[in-house]
Amino acid sequence: MNLPASPAAATSAAPLFELDRATVVRGASRVLRDLSLTIPLGQHTAILGPNGCGKSTFIKLINRELYPLAREGDAPVKVFGMRRWNVNELRSRLGVVTSDLTRDLQQMPHLRVEDAVVTGFFSSFMPPPHRNVDAGMRARARHALEDVRATALADRQVAELSTGEMRRVLIARALVHEPEALLLDEPTAGLDLVARQHFLGLMRTLAQRGITLVLVTHHIEEIIPEIDRVLVLRDGSVQADGDRASTLTEGQLSHAFGGAVRVRREGDYYCAAPAHA
């Protein structure tokens, strides 16, 4: 695969993400509780935890779909060292792949795959009326599809794609800008065994090419060997932060998930399952 290199990842001084005591309240609940973490560029990181621990809220903070409680002093959330950012400009440095994108794109009538990838230039689901799609954009979209081995999908309708095919299209859409980092939300959810293995291989290739991966998941099987930092969230706070060996333990995961968990290592991967009574 001929994926784009990311030289800026090695030279940028500002961390990719910084959260400084970020608190988010939704309704009567505090979803994030003074959450503090720093993820530098170049450090592949997994954010792991059960449903309801704050993983989705973290992604929405980065996407500016949610905002933390305001306070005096420095900003609770920074991306690339910036407290305020334009989403269109941010997408040129950070690609975001979420299940919401799948739903929104597949609801667009008669949307071709290549056109869906082109929309990545505009951070929208169709090109804005005042913007033209030029030949260079088309070429980069086709190149991105080639990089993720999805060239054969270019003329297909997005609504017809399988879950595995759609994941590759979303990665291609994120790659058109040649970003420094990718934020991936539960990327293998809904994939069959073969499609899941292919997708994990794609993630490894991206990491090896210098694109920083931040994986948000509740499946430790998705944590590829290149990811060696794991943040474990519980009740909106960081329970554990360290390498895979120190965080993917039966004690840590049992506490985080609220029940007995068995962990085993298979080669370079970790697997977990509920412990039998």
Residue 4: the pLDDT is: 41
Q: Which residue has the tokens 């997005």?
A: 158
pTM of the entire predicted model: 0.89
Q: Which residue has the tokens 């990665």?
A: 171
Does position 276 have pLDDT exceeding 80, yes or no?
no
What's phi and psi for 143, nearest 5 deg? -65, -40
Residue 131: the pLDDT is: 77
DSSP lists the bridge partners of residue 32 as 24
Residue 42: the pLDDT is: 95
Average pLDDT over residues 89-118: 87
The answer to whether 231 touches 238, Cβ cutoff 8 Å, is: yes
% of the chain surpassing 70 pLDDT: 94
Residue 73: the pLDDT is: 66
Residue 136: the pLDDT is: 93
Residue 251: the pLDDT is: 96
Give 65 or 261, the one with higher predicted confidence: 261
Give 147 or 12, the one with higher predicted confidence: 147
The answer to whether 180 touches 204, Cβ cutoff 8 Å, is: no
User: pLDDT tens digits, residue range 3-47?
Assistant: 444 434 333 478 999 999 999 998 888 899 999 999 999 999 999
Residue 26: the pLDDT is: 87
| Average per-residue pLDDT for the chain | 89
Rounded distance, CA 93 to CA 181, Å? 7
Does position 101 have pLDDT exceeding 90, yes or no?
no
Average pLDDT over residues 227-231: 96
Does position 222 have pLDDT exceeding 60, yes or no?
yes
